[in-house]
Amino acid sequence: MTAAPMLAPVRPAQSRRTGPLGSLYAGNSRAVIGRGLLATRSTSWLIVLSGFFEPIFYLLSLGIGLGAIVGAVTTSTGQSVPYAAYIAPALLAVSAMNGAIFDSTWNVFFKMQYAKLYEGMLATSLGPLDVALGEIFLALLRGGVYAAGFLIVMQVLGLNLAWTAILALPAVLLIAFGFASLGMAITSYLKSFQQMDWITFVMLPMFLFSATFYPLSVYPQAIRVVIEILPLWHGVELVRGLTTGALSLPMLGHVLYFVVMIVVGLTFTTRRLRALFLN
Amino acid sequence: MPSSVITASRLTKKYKEFAAVDGISFEVAPGESFGLLGPNGAGKSTTMRMVGAVSTRTSGELSILGLDPNEHGPEVRSQLGVVPQQDNLDMELRVRDNLIVYGRYFGMSRALCGEKADALLEFAQLSDRAKSKVDDLSGGMKRRLTIARSLMNDPRILLLDEPTTGLDPQARHILWDRLFRLKEQGTTLVLTTHYMDEAEQLCDRLVVVDKGAIMAEGSPAALIRQYSTREVVEVRFGSDRNADVAHEIDGIGDRVEVLPDRILVYTDDGDAVLAEISRRGLEPITSLVRRSSLEDVFLRLTGRSLIE
């Protein structure tokens, strides 16, 4: 005979939040984060590591190899820096983007469509904003870990030209936050794996053309405008300013760009999760 | 203590023009075991989702534990246990972690979660599988784990959407036993099913739902008394002959129902009906006298079987 499961009339702490967030947020994202950390035990560390090494391979092949031929490059602020030091911050921004996007798109898509994870979560006292914030934080964490590792590699290779390089870490977290929230928002609207390919379709050219490997000045004005609208360029410029020490006022604009991206992403994600699971 | 834990009045859910739930009203008393019985697509799951505060109603009134789920979603959900139709266990977590993490979603402390998880694993007869992967569990075990999970927050109401669909008979009986224990402890159960035996086993009171509306309401026994006879005679003459023979059977018993595969004769005395059938020189391939069930009630009310 088994014991009765009711141990004591315990009532869990209840959210009595009111106002517009009352039905959206229970202030318990940490439960979602805790779940994610526990679940990483079952993920393949090979995949995680590959995301870390990808930008390092680029840095070694292009920065060191190609850099020997290219020599020095002039940044958007007019500073002349070695080629490897020019592309390294860009690759740092890219690694943050990749980590955040991988977690917030493929992983989220799977959890939403197949594992029915969010359906289960939203049947509890969690609100959609708890889920969105928790999942985005996890994506951000992965982006942050990649970035910290890459920054160390840069330091070892002597590619951090100023003390402000340390600020690249929070900057990269901001960038990752932006990509993760927008990525999750977009993913929540997608219905099939085919549509997921669109994300790759946008990310690859963005990676190649966002002043990653050469200054934006090589482009005609029209293309330049397109690049400047897309998010990665803002990330690249922000991080490059910090690691090369060429601080400028437009960097505040880049920060603002990501703040807006975060707000827009979170708004749409929350709204969409609510529509999908709490309609 | 309110007199009812769930009050629905003219509850309606429309998807565009289609009314999945069309103005149903019911009440559930504390400690009661209440069933929604109906075929697939009758609106049972939609009703459950509204009661579970994960779907907002189009119109009508709904009160769960005195709260409007549209306004107080998280608070209502914190007092409910939900067993969805399809298991949505966390496949990336092991069995015990599934329970602990779920408790954390309700804001419970780690210590409390661990304590509850162990007690519930025992209740669900899964203690020896605590460290297993969810994928390695059988269908019945997954279902029991889902039920254990739904009890993590000590719910005042347990919502079960087709709890035993797809399980083999043995697994169903184990599950029924567990649910019956919960009922004995005073947990309010609300369940949907399209299995008659399940409804008869577990429900104090039920509503028969079809096309989003309530067709009848009462205890299983009362429904059978009201809509059926004490016994039913099932005779089969072969698919092509049933309809022809039906004329000759006419007049025997209280009522005759001709189905494609068999003829049902409703009566209070099954043996007498069988005797009369053979006196008329009809020789069924198979014959069976059984007690009336909720299936007969449903057939009477809607003119078709529950599982199509």
- Partner residue facing B123 (CB), from A5, A22, A115: A5
Return the exposure string of B38-76: e unless at least 16 CB atoms fall within 10 Å of the residue's CB, then b.
bbeebbbbbbbbbbbbbbbbeebebbbbeeebeebbbbb
Contacting residues of A for B73, CB less than 8 Å apart: 23, 127, 278
Could B92 and A39 be called an inter-chain contact, meaning their C-beta atoms sit closer than 8 Å? yes
Could A42 and B93 be called an inter-chain contact, meaning their C-beta atoms sit closer than 8 Å? yes
Per-residue model confidence as pLDDT tens for chain B (308 residues)? 458 999 999 999 999 889 999 999 999 999 999 999 988 888 999 999 999 999 999 999 999 999 999 888 888 999 999 999 888 999 999 999 999 999 999 999 999 999 999 999 999 999 999 999 999 999 999 999 999 999 999 999 999 999 988 888 998 898 899 899 999 988 999 999 888 788 888 999 999 999 999 999 999 989 999 999 999 999 998 888 887 888 888 888 888 888 888 899 999 999 999 999 889 888 889 999 999 888 888 888 877 765 55
Domains of chain B: 6-222 (3.40.50.300), 229-291 (3.30.70.920)
Amino acid at B155: P
Could A6 and B90 be called an inter-chain contact, meaning their C-beta atoms sit closer than 8 Å? no
- Partner residue facing B54 (CB), from A12, A17, A122: A122
Contacting residues of A for B49, CB less than 8 Å apart: none
Contacting residues of A for B120, CB less than 8 Å apart: 5
Per-residue pLDDT, B307:
55
Per-residue pLDDT, A6:
44
To test the contact with chain A by mutation, choose from B106, B147, B156, B158 the residue with the greatest count of A C-beta atoms within 10 A, namely: B106
CB atoms within 10 A of CB A254: 22
**Triad A114, A118, A119: Cα angle to 5°:** 85
**A22: closest chain B residue by CA:** B72
**A129: closest chain B residue by CA:** B74
Which residues are within 8 A (CB) of A241 and not within 5 positions of it... i.e. 6 or more apart? A77, A164, A247, A248, A251
Which runs of consecutive H residues, i.e. helices, occur in B131-290?
139-150, 169-184, 196-202, 220-227, 242-249, 270-279
Q: Minimal Cα–Cα distance from B58 to chain A, Å?
A: 10
Residue boundaries of the structural domains of chain A: 43-277
Per-residue pLDDT, A64:
86
To test the contact with chain B by mutation, choose from A35, A42, A279 the residue with the greatest count of B C-beta atoms within 10 A, namely: A35
Q: Minimal Cα–Cα distance from B110 to chain A, Å?
A: 10
* Residue ranges for chain A with pLDDT beneath 70: 1-22, 44
Is B1 an 8 Å CB contact of chain A?
Answer: no
Per-residue pLDDT, A3:
43
**B94: closest chain A residue by CA:** A39
Q: Minimal Cα–Cα distance from B218 to chain A, Å?
A: 29
Task: Please state, in angstroms and rounded to a whole number, the distance separating the CA atoms of residues B158 and B80.
Answer: 6
Q: How far is CA B2 from CA A26, A34, A65, B67, B217, in A?
A: 26, 37, 77, 11, 22
Could B55 and A26 be called an inter-chain contact, meaning their C-beta atoms sit closer than 8 Å? no
Interface residues of A toward B, Cβ cutoff 8 Å, are 2-7, 9-17, 22-23, 26, 28, 31-32, 34-35, 38-39, 42-43, 115-117, 119-127, 277-279
Is B55 an 8 Å CB contact of chain A?
Answer: yes
Return residues 130-189 of B near A (CB < 8 Å). 148, 151, 153-154, 181-182, 185
Per-residue pLDDT, A100:
86
Per-residue pLDDT, A19:
55
- ipTM, interface predicted TM-score of the complex: 0.82
Q: Are strands B231-236 and B213-218 parallel, antiparallel or unpaired?
A: unpaired
Could B73 and A115 be called an inter-chain contact, meaning their C-beta atoms sit closer than 8 Å? no
Per-residue pLDDT, A223:
92
Q: Dihedral of CA B285/B291/B294/B296: which sign?
A: positive
